[in-house]
Structure 1
Amino acid sequence: MEASPQSPVEAPTLAFHHRVIAVLVLAGLAIIGLFGNTLVIFSVITTKKLRTVTNVLVVNLAVADILTCSSLPFQIAGLLSQTGKYPIPEIICAIIAGVTSTSVCCSVSNLVAIGFVRWYVITRSIRGHQGINTPRNIAKVVLIIWMESIALIIIPPVLGVGTLGYSRYYGLCTLSDTNPLAFVYVMFQGAVIITALILTLTFYGLILRHVLQHNKQFRDKFADDKASDSSSAETQQNKTSSSTSQDSRPPMIKAINQKEIEITKNVFTVVCLFMICFVAQSVNFLIPGLSLSTLYGYMILMANSMVNPIIYGLKHPNFQEAFKRILCRRRRPLERVSN
């Protein structure tokens, strides 16, 4: 039986079997996440089709996920500790807590930036590098994202609102149990992430409205052109050339729009899965005190770091092609050695 949180004799901790479950889950997430996100970065670097402005932000998202996955072994060390203390110097635990929180904040800020870029590209009919849609400007956005994320995580503890360190109850490097303002810090983090997700959904809502309006205008224009052609008294040769030119226009326009829409659908799927992973943990923001569900909510939140490469591999044709090429290339030397 777990110790009562009100026990005056000894600070409570979660039952060890819950920690073992968390260790197994986090170990699996770390392995899959490190492999998958490294594959995403390597694919963008080695595949010309993937060197787009949007994928600069996708790579930045993968870097944040790699940092999260790299911190999980240190979390596992804390979960396995039965002494009530972090087995490594606690300054390491505070750093891991800061890295994990910064990576989550950076991920959600990336989703806002990706949503904005998709809205800008689609609504402005941008093709190529124009306006803010240039590598230099996106690099500036990436820098701002990291500076903002680090500031949002570091400044509150510096002001005494929460302390990054080892939580004896959960066995995690997060917020220390000793700071009475820890709940305020958690609520602040939750408010930042929720605000960012609302902004992201707003951009995708604007994209949807623009696409619906554009399709309606296109259908109306095509219907008017077709009606005018049927009532015209032009020669058969002119009719044929006019019909050919009009028949060739819609597929071209449709292809351009379809490509951008498919990219937008893929990144919106990433947003939806992040929200699902975050909701499991955000419910605990509203529950004061210590709770077992917080540990399992944390595991679900960390799972977001490994699902993005899976989405790209299943839904993005260019990433699918790059993944197969890289994995097959690595497999062939092994086959030659075995033969």
Structure 2
Amino acid sequence: MVVTQVDSTSLDMITIIPSATSEINVVAFKHRAIVAAILLVFALVGLFGNALIIISVIVCRKLRTITNVLVVNLAFADFMACTFLPFQSAGLLSQTGRYPLHETVCAAVTAVLYISVCCSVHTLVAIAFVRWYVITKSIRGHQGFHTPKKIAIMVVIIWIISISFMVVPPVLGIGTLGYSEYYSICSLTDTNDLQSYYIVLQGSLVANALLLTIIFYIRILRHVLRHNKQFRDKYAVDEDKGSSSTEASSSVSAGSRPPMIKAINRKEIEITKNLFMVVCVFMLCFLATIVNFFIPGTSVFTLYSTMILLANSVVNPIIYGLKHPNFQEVFKKIICCRPVR
């Protein structure tokens, strides 16, 4: 039987579940049920979206580019995370105070989720870095860095960093992977006194990744805006020179100025929107978790912030797949069971 804890400030947040040895405070079942249902939806959507990206690159030769190596790596990491989300839902729906499966399964689920999320975050940073490098550098820079070998090395480094920082500390006793009785999820157990150091490490990694991604996209945006400004200035100079030739040509140039300026402005606005959307979605998925990492104590909001964090594995196919015209074309053919040439 579940008895509601008598506390006016947390009446709807906490329940008490009888245990074989003692009473355990847990997040109220209604909150856990909501998060469990949403995670199941995330799993279905994320598995479909990320699998679609991987299949598209495999079957379409046009998508087998060097940059898409990172996109596939991102999709694979997110696919792996979505695969284990149902195991999180199973723990959330448990009303016994224990994980319904073996404790080793919960520890493995935690390790895989931590590794995949860390890999996904740093792959986003790598994509932002490659885009900045290719866009802002010359053709020489494009050829010097944008090679299959160097991108493959980058992918290997990302996985090494993810496994090292997410698994090695618990192996050394800094935090214990398992079932959190309070939140009823596969995360860190509530018994390790050194888990705060592990939490700080996780928060630092996510915060640094967020900061680097924002920096790279802002630098891309500044470069594009500066380039378009130079183009507008050059266009204005060329137009002034042409207007001094004849009165007729001056009239034509004057008439062509508004469409050209409007086209440039539309391009700037579209680029700004896309970059702003990428940064905002990234911040939306990770900012709540970063705040929770550095705020002491336990709260039901930590459970919801974890849910938002895992949502990143679902939205990445939309951002890096559906916004790409080539991916859109291949997606439609695969969904409609049409041949992809």
Same fold per superposition (TM over 0.5): yes
Contact 1:118–1:264 (8 Å) recurs in 2:
no
Quote the Cα distance in structure 2 between the aligned partners of 1:316 and 1:34: 19
- C-alpha deviation, 1:47, in angstroms: 2.2
* Partner SS for 1:12: strand
Aligned to 1:28: 41
Aligned to 2:228: 215
Picking from 157, 165, 175, the partner of 1:144 is: 157
Aligned to 2:74: 61
Amino acid at match of 2:202: Q
TM-score (norm 2): 0.81
Aligned to 1:44: 57
Picking from 302, 306, 309, the partner of 1:301 is: 309
- C-alpha deviation, 1:51, in angstroms: 2.2
- C-alpha deviation, 1:228, in angstroms: 3.9
Matched, 1:269 2:282: no
Picking from 129, 132, 136, the partner of 1:123 is: 136
Alignment of 1:1-339 (within 5 A): 1=4, 2-3=14-15, 9-126=22-139, 130-231=143-244, 266=274, 269-312=277-320, 314-329=322-337
Quote the Cα distance in structure 2 between the aligned partners of 1:262 and 1:48: 28
- C-alpha deviation, 1:44, in angstroms: 1.8
Contact 1:111–1:271 (8 Å) recurs in 2:
no
Quote the Cα distance in structure 1 between the aligned partners of 2:245 and 2:15: 87
| Consecutive unaligned residues in structure 1, runs of 5 or more | 234-238, 244-249, 332-339
* Partner SS for 2:169: helix
| Consecutive unaligned residues in structure 2, runs of 5 or more | 5-13, 254-259
Note closer, same or farther for the CA distance 1:14–1:73 as it changes in structure 2 (3 Å cut). same
Contact 2:53–2:317 (8 Å) recurs in 1:
yes
The list of structure 1 runs, each at least 4 consecutive aligned residues, that deviate by more than 6 angstroms after superposition, is 261-265
Contact 1:44–1:51 (8 Å) recurs in 2:
yes
Note closer, same or farther for the CA distance 1:313–1:124 as it changes in structure 2 (3 Å cut). closer
TM-score (norm 1): 0.82
Aligned to 2:256: none
Contact 2:53–2:321 (8 Å) recurs in 1:
no
Contact 1:266–1:316 (8 Å) recurs in 2:
no
Amino acid at match of 2:27: L
Quote the Cα distance in structure 2 between the aligned partners of 1:130 and 1:156: 38
Paired residues in the alignment total 312
How high is the sequence identity, in percent, across the aligned residues? 60
Contact 2:221–2:275 (8 Å) recurs in 1:
no
Contact 2:125–2:213 (8 Å) recurs in 1:
yes
Note closer, same or farther for the CA distance 1:21–1:51 as it changes in structure 2 (3 Å cut). same
- C-alpha deviation, 1:285, in angstroms: 1.5
- C-alpha deviation, 1:309, in angstroms: 2.2
Quote the Cα distance in structure 1 between the aligned partners of 2:128 and 2:64: 18
Quote the Cα distance in structure 1 between the aligned partners of 2:67 and 2:279: 14
Amino acid at match of 1:282: I
Quote the Cα distance in structure 1 between the aligned partners of 2:178 and 2:214: 33
Contact 1:33–1:69 (8 Å) recurs in 2:
yes
Question: What is the aligned-residue RMSD (CA, Å)?
Answer: 3.2
* Partner SS for 2:175: coil
* Partner SS for 1:293: helix
Contact 2:134–2:141 (8 Å) recurs in 1:
no
Contact 1:93–1:166 (8 Å) recurs in 2:
yes
- C-alpha deviation, 1:30, in angstroms: 0.5
* Partner SS for 2:27: coil
Note closer, same or farther for the CA distance 1:41–1:133 as it changes in structure 2 (3 Å cut). same
Quote the Cα distance in structure 2 between the aligned partners of 1:310 and 1:53: 20
Quote the Cα distance in structure 1 between the aligned partners of 2:275 and 2:137: 19
* Partner SS for 1:178: coil
Quote the Cα distance in structure 2 between the aligned partners of 1:126 and 1:119: 13
Quote the Cα distance in structure 2 between the aligned partners of 1:59 and 1:216: 35
